[in-house]
């Protein structure tokens, strides 16, 4: 037990309270060994301020609920150890680019559902004649492994919050949208053609809006290859014009 | 009062709930799902290892079929399950896996030719058939005779949840996110829907449906340390309990997973051991072969958890500030395997422990993991007491798990159960009308509003977090892996005292909209009732079965306890549930109670067991030696399914042989000839 005193500077704002104004509030807490931001925030809420709003679900880096900006960098709070900060000063802000629910809680779910509906982010099978009682169609084992690699996105919203294009253009689909398009584009079971995808993201809201600043790739907690996928989609989209 | 009507209302947007919603929507019913969180964040996403289905594509799965899966499931349940349900499940699991492939799941596939694997701490080479190339692969898991667990690396739950939620989105099924159900609207016989609170605005709404399906997952968070997501608090079970009419089944059956990391209790998948990982003690010694020479690390979860606890009690645990633990060693699998097939495990080790599992051993100990108990349903998923109330997945006691669940059978249950029960829910919506009684709905909304008023404006002084933590400690200390009478009595006493104190709950944050303290206060008294059903059920059950291990009653007692515990809460002001028992009929069983395959066979036999065995022998003899395995099964225990799910499952062997090879599959009543053990 190290027992040092941590200082948390936390963004507080309740948009539903007409009289409330955004502010930073300072809290102090004794550090325990293995403490994560998840543990710290729960302790603060239970012991110091029961109104503090934040989101966690799996607390294991799997579900993507708890993304927030920690000392300037967007990341998953559940797996961020407080020991990582030698000065013991931790500033917490909500993810930018999403509707604020309150304090550190933002509505990523609403954003992701709308994105999925807009880009039709589901498998469009080549054939409707799929019989679940018969042997499944074979699939190249390497293709399956490649698809899984791209599918590991947890919709945490970090890439969106770290994207300068998204800050300027609200309709930009962000790395998360392109990663998912790439995942379905690569899937041999999907019946959509390159043209179909071009109509969805072959524009300034999609691959041609990206400024390649790579905030997405630098901050993605799942280390997804965003740069590679965006470049791949650009080449693919450009080739449909020929 | 805001009133929202739908045909098929589903509470919970994990795999089970979404699968039911899809089934109802595909049949043309208006369908609406409520969820505490965005659907893709549900606890289903955390399932790592995989989903059991007897595809039999790999060489280590050859000869697998519904019979073997059924037998493994019944033995795994320690004969506590509903065998009809286990049959329905085993039959539909391959269909669900194949359906999920059609919905986009990138299942890990078989590569033809030689493949290096670790079995019993040795590297061996197996040869996959050319014809199997590209078909869905499977890995080994505990308590199964065949390699049957289909997977996508160790992110299977994630892949499945994303595919199923995407399917739901493609069908236009609305999910009302950040909404919490707080009460079931009913008239004592018929369920009408739920009262729910918006967690953002605080608005109370009445959601009315012809059918209401509870799919809210398990109740792991009544324990202090659990592998469960923090939202798995048993509120769905509590809602059913608070109707005073619906029953919960086998709530005392709580599974501990052998390998959660210390201290935070995050899971490392059973796939670690399935793929060849070992358990070691403080001396680095591999102790499981001493206890379970046959199955070793791949004995059933309840067995491995108990053996680990026994070994630590002998002083062989590694000391830590958080108490003793043991080691999980996956270093022998090699870095490449870990970085591809066990990468979630690797990330968890790096982020929470600061270790590299390709080089270092992982500190683990058994931790609360799964709720076999839940809302009691019939095989069609409906509450026997409240018409129109359905339950599915971990929230339910559909009862294919009995007193212990096999790894890979819960992820399978979510989608298979959802597939089957979804059709029955759709049938129910076809065949039944609901008289919309807004007065009834208003009475339930008013009741919840009064509860909230009391918490905010009343004089209560009890802190919700303090009560919750006290409950979690009681469950941890007295209702754990090993149980005994005096400790269980103490647990019941302390939980009753906490429930009595919960009448005096109050909140210091007075907001009516987004208010985390209010959310906690509304949950904690409901959770206490769930905890009491677990503790009271465990105190009353004076035997050991599956995960329920009584030190003072070590025998499985089929004579007195081959029955399901039912719990209801008819008197809202009472401090404990009413328990009753529902017998399991040996004379209806396809597989009568027998030796489970672990340790000494110390079961006290049921008087009907010998009688049923003789009857089975007679039935099979009458069929003759050439009867198909399907005909034998039908003769022993006929079961029903929705018509669209009844066709036989084709397997690779069928295609290669042109017919079913009955010699390698054996008879359902003779479990030991159903292929080789791979232990």
Distance in Å, alpha carbon of B199 to nearest chain A alpha carbon: 10
Distance in Å, alpha carbon of A13 to nearest chain B alpha carbon: 12
Compute CA distances B378 → B245, B387, B390, B430, whole Å.
Answer: 15, 11, 9, 19
Q: What is the pLDDT of residue A28?
A: 98
**Cα–Cα distance for residue pair B107/A127, rounded to 1 Å:** 19
| Region label for B171, one of left (φ > 0), alpha (ψ between -120 and 50) or beta (otherwise) | alpha
| Residue A140 in contact with partner chain B when CB distance is under 8 A | yes
Average model confidence (pLDDT) for chain A? 94
Q: Which helix (H) or strand (E) holds B193?
A: strand B191-198
Q: What is the radius of gyration, based on Cα positions, of chain B?
A: 24
DSSP chain A: ---PEEEEEEEE--TTSTT---EEEEEEEE--TT-BHHHHHHHHHHHT-TT-----SSSSSSS-TTEEEETTEEEEGGG-BGGG-TT-EEEEEPPTTS-EEETTEE-HHHHHHHHHHHHT-S--BS-S---TTSPPPP--HHHHHHHHHHHT----SHHHHT-HHHHH-TT--HHHHHHHHHHHHH-TTB---HHHHHHHHSSTTTTTT-----HHHHH-TT---HHHHHHHHHHHHHHHH-
Residue of B516, B517, B518, B652 to mutate, testing the A interface (most A Cβ within 10 Å of its Cβ): B516
- Chain A contacts of B96, Cβ < 8 Å? 132
Q: What is the pLDDT of residue A2?
A: 54
Reference B637, options B605, B603, B592; nearest CA is B592
Q: Tell me the mean pLDDT in the region B496-520.
A: 97
Residue of B109, B231, B341 to mutate, testing the A interface (most A Cβ within 10 Å of its Cβ): B109
Reference B235, options B179, B178, B161, B183; nearest CA is B183
Q: What is the radius of gyration, based on Cα positions, of chain A?
A: 21
> B24, B31 in Cβ contact below 8 A?
yes
> Given B111, B134, B508, which is nearest A50 (Cβ)?
B508
Q: ipTM of this model?
A: 0.97
Q: What is the pLDDT of residue B253?
A: 98
Residue of A148, A150, A176, A184 to mutate, testing the B interface (most B Cβ within 10 Å of its Cβ): A148
> Given A112, A144, A184, which is nearest B109 (Cβ)?
A144
In eight-state DSSP terms, residue B352 is I
* Cβ separation A64–B41 shorter than 8 A: yes
Torsion sign (Cα): A118, A124, A128, A132: negative
- Chain A contacts of B517, Cβ < 8 Å? 50-51
| Residue A45 in contact with partner chain B when CB distance is under 8 A | yes
Backbone angles phi, psi at B608, to 5 degrees: -85, -10
Contacts 24+ apart (CB under 8 A), B521-525: B521/B455, B521/B464, B522/B180, B522/B182, B522/B197, B522/B451, B522/B452, B522/B455, B523/B233, B523/B235, B523/B464, B523/B468, B524/B464, B524/B467, B524/B468, B524/B471, B525/B499
Tokens at B546, concatenated: 């599956």
> What percentage of chain A has pLDDT greater than the value 90?
84
* Cβ separation A60–B46 shorter than 8 A: yes
Tokens at A229, concatenated: 């996928």
- Chain B contacts of A64, Cβ < 8 Å? 40-41
Tokens at B149, concatenated: 């667990």
- Chain B contacts of A220, Cβ < 8 Å? none
**Cα B547–Cα B552–Cα B554 angle in degrees, nearest 5:** 50
- Chain A contacts of B169, Cβ < 8 Å? 113, 116-117, 121-122
B40 C-beta neighbours (distance < 10 Å), count:
30
Q: Is the peptide bond before B263 cis (omega within 30 degrees of 0)?
A: yes
List active site positions of B.
257, 273
Distance in Å, alpha carbon of B384 to nearest chain A alpha carbon: 31
| Residue A18 in contact with partner chain B when CB distance is under 8 A | no
Q: What is the pLDDT of residue A18?
A: 93
**Cα–Cα distance for residue pair B48/B151, rounded to 1 Å:** 8
Beta strands B2-11; B204-214: pairing state: parallel
| pLDDT surpassing 70 at residue B650 | yes
In B342-436 the beta strands, taken as DSSP E runs, fall at 362-371, 374-376, 389-391, 396-397
* Cβ separation B158–A151 shorter than 8 A: yes
* Cβ separation A50–B200 shorter than 8 A: no
Q: What is the pLDDT of residue A75?
A: 98
> B295, B399 in Cβ contact below 8 A?
no
Distance in Å, alpha carbon of B404 to nearest chain A alpha carbon: 23
Q: What is the pLDDT of residue B662?
A: 42
| Residue A164 in contact with partner chain B when CB distance is under 8 A | no
What does the pLDDT look like over B363-402, one tens digit per residue? 999 999 999 999 999 999 999 999 999 999 999 999 999 9
* Cβ separation A122–B101 shorter than 8 A: no
| Residue A57 in contact with partner chain B when CB distance is under 8 A | yes
- Chain A contacts of B61, Cβ < 8 Å? none
| Residue A123 in contact with partner chain B when CB distance is under 8 A | yes
Q: What is the pLDDT of residue B676?
A: 38
Distance in Å, alpha carbon of A242 to nearest chain B alpha carbon: 30
Residue of A55, A58, A139 to mutate, testing the B interface (most B Cβ within 10 Å of its Cβ): A58
> Given B170, B267, B348, which is nearest A122 (Cβ)?
B170
> B254, B368 in Cβ contact below 8 A?
yes
| Residue A1 in contact with partner chain B when CB distance is under 8 A | yes
Average model confidence (pLDDT) for chain B? 94
Least confident of A24-28, A165-169, B618-622: A165-169
Distance in Å, alpha carbon of B243 to nearest chain A alpha carbon: 28
Distance in Å, alpha carbon of A130 to nearest chain B alpha carbon: 7
pLDDT band per the 50, 70, 90 thresholds, residue B614: very high
Least confident of B225-229, B350-354, B516-520, B608-612: B350-354
Beta strands B482-483; B549-550: pairing state: parallel
* Cβ separation A132–B513 shorter than 8 A: no
What does the pLDDT look like over B418-472, one tens digit per residue? 999 999 999 999 999 999 999 999 999 999 999 999 999 999 999 999 999 999 9
pLDDT band per the 50, 70, 90 thresholds, residue B661: very low
Q: Which of A140-154, A202-216, A227-241, B593-607 has the highest mean pLDDT?
A: A140-154
* Cβ separation B101–A136 shorter than 8 A: yes
**Cα–Cα distance for residue pair B263/A30, rounded to 1 Å:** 18
> B58, B128 in Cβ contact below 8 A?
yes
pLDDT band per the 50, 70, 90 thresholds, residue A242: low
Q: What is the pLDDT of residue B590?
A: 98
> What percentage of chain B has pLDDT greater than the value 70?
97
* Cβ separation B38–A14 shorter than 8 A: no
**Cα–Cα distance for residue pair B49/B141, rounded to 1 Å:** 9
- Chain B contacts of A139, Cβ < 8 Å? 101, 106-107, 109, 134
What does the pLDDT look like over B60-115, one tens digit per residue? 999 999 999 999 999 999 999 999 999 999 999 999 999 999 999 999 999 999 99
- First and final C-alpha spacing in chain B: 60
- Chain A contacts of B266, Cβ < 8 Å? 59-60
pLDDT band per the 50, 70, 90 thresholds, residue B176: very high
pLDDT band per the 50, 70, 90 thresholds, residue A238: confident
Which residues, at least 6 apart from B670, have a Cβ–Cβ distance to it below 8 Å? none
B563 C-beta neighbours (distance < 10 Å), count:
15
Beta strands B31-35; B2-11: pairing state: parallel
B641 C-beta neighbours (distance < 10 Å), count:
16
| Residue A55 in contact with partner chain B when CB distance is under 8 A | yes
- Chain B contacts of A137, Cβ < 8 Å? 101
> What percentage of chain A has pLDDT greater than the value 70?
99
**Cα–Cα distance for residue pair B593/B78, rounded to 1 Å:** 8
DSSP B241-277: HHTSSS-EE-TT-EEEEEEEETTT--B--THHHHTT-
Nearest residue of B to residue A64, measured between CA atoms: B41
What does the pLDDT look like over A189-200, one tens digit per residue? 999 998 888 888
């Amino acid at each position: 037990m190290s027992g040092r005193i941590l200082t948390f500077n936390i963004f507080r704002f309740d948009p539903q309270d007409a009289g409330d104004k955004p502010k930073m509030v300072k809290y102090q807490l004794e550090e325990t060994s293995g403490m994560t931001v998840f543990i710290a925030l729960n302790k603060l809420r239970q012991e110091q301020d029961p109104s503090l709003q934040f989101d966690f679900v799996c607390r294991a880096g799997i579900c993507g609920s708890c993304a927030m900006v920690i000392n300037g960098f967007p990341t998953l709070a559940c797996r961020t150890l407080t020991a990582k900060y030698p000065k013991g000063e931790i500033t917490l802000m909500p993810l930018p680019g999403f509707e604020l629910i309150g304090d550190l809680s933002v509505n990523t779910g609403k954003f992701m559902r709308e994105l999925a509906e807009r880009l039709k982010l589901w498998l469009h099978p080549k054939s409707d004649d799929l019989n679940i009682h018969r042997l499944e169609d074979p699939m190249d084992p390497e293709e399956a492994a490649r698809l899984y690699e791209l599918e590991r996105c947890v919709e945490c919203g970090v890439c969106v919050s770290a994207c300068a294009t998204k800050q300027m253009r609200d309709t930009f689909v962000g790395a998360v949208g392109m990663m998912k398009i790439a995942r379905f584009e690569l899937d041999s079971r999907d019946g959509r053609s390159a043209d179909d995808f071009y109509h969805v993201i072959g524009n300034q809201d999609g691959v041609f809006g990206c400024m390649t600043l790579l905030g997405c790739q630098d901050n993605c907690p799942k280390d997804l290859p965003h740069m590679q996928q965006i470049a791949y989609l650009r080449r693919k989209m450009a080739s449909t014009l020929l | 009062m805001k009133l929202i009507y739908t045909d098929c209302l589903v509470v919970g947007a994990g795999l089970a709930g979404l699968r039911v919603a899809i089934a109802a929507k595909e049949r043309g019913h208006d369908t609406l799902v409520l969820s505490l969180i965005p659907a893709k964040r549900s606890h289903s996403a955390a399932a790592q290892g995989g989903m059991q289905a007897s595809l039999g594509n790999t060489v280590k799965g050859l000869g697998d079929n519904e019979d073997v899966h059924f037998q493994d499931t019944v033995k795994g349940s320690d004969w506590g399950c509903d065998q009809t349900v286990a049959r329905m499940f085993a039959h539909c699991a391959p269909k669900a896996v194949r359906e999920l492939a059609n919905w986009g799941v990138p299942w890990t596939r078989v590569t033809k030719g030689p493949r290096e694997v670790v079995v019993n701490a040795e590297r061996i080479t197996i040869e996959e058939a050319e014809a199997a190339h590209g078909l869905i692969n499977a890995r080994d898991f505990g308590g199964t005779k065949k390699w049957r667990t289909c997977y996508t690396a160790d992110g299977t739950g994630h892949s499945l949840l994303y595919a199923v939620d995407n399917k739901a989105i493609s069908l236009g099924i609305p999910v009302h996110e950040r909404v919490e159900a707080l009460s079931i609207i009913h008239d004592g016989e018929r369920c009408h829907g739920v009262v729910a609170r918006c967690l953002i605005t605080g608005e109370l709404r009445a959601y009315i449906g012809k059918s209401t399906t509870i799919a809210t997952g398990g109740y792991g968070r009544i324990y202090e340390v659990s592998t469960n997501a923090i939202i798995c608090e048993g509120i769905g079970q509590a809602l059913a309990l608070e109707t005073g009419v619906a029953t919960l089944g086998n709530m005392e059956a709580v599974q501990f997973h052998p390998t959660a990391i210390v201290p935070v209790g995050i899971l490392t998948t059973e796939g670690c051991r399935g793929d060849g990982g070992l358990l070691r003690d403080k001396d680095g010694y591999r102790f499981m072969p001493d206890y379970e020479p046959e199955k070793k690390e791949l004995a059933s979860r309840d067995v491995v958890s108990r053996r680990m606890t026994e070994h630590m009690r002998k002083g062989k645990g590694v000391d830590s500030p958080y108490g003793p633990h043991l080691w999980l060693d996956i270093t022998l699998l090699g870095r490449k395997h870990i970085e591809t097939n066990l990468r979630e495990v690797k990330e968890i080790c790096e982020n929470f422990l600061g270790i590299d599992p390709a080089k270092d051993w992982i500190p683990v100990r058994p931790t609360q993991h799964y709720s076999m108990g839940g809302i009691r349903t019939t095989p069609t998923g409906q509450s026997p007491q409240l018409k129109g109330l359905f339950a599915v997945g971990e929230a339910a006691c559909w009862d294919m798990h009995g007193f212990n669940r096999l790894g890979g059978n819960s992820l399978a249950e979510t989608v298979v159960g959802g597939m089957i029960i979804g059709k029955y829910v759709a049938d129910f919506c076809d065949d039944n009308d609901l008289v919309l009684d807004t007065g009834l709905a208003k009475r339930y909304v008013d009741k919840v509003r009064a509860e909230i008023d009391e918490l905010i404006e009343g004089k209560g002084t009890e802190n919700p977090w303090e009560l919750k933590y006290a409950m979690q400690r009681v469950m941890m200390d007295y209702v754990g892996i090993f149980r005994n009478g005096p400790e269980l009595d103490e647990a019941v006493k302390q939980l009753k005292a906490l429930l009595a104190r919960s009448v005096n709950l109050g909140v210091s944050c007075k907001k009516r909209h987004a208010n985390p303290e209010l959310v906690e206060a509304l949950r904690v008294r409901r959770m206490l009732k769930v905890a009491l059903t677990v503790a009271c059920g465990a105190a009353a059950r004076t035997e050991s079965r599956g995960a329920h291990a009584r030190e003072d009653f070590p025998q499985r007692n089929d004579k007195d306890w081959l029955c399901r515990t039912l719990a209801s809460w008819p008197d809202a002001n009472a401090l404990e549930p009413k328990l009753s028992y529902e017998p399991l009929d040996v004379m209806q069983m396809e597989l009568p109670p027998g030796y489970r395959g672990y340790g000494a066979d110390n079961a006290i036999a049921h008087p009907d067991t010998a009688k049923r065995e003789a009857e089975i022998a007679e039935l099979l003899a009458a069929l003759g030696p050439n009867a198909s395995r399907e005909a034998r099964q039908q003769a022993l225990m006929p079961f029903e399914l929705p018509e669209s799910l009844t066709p036989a499952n084709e397997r690779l062997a069928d295609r290669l042989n042109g017919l079913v090879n009955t010699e390698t599959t054996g008879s359902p009543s003779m479990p030991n000839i159903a292929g080789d053990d791979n232990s």
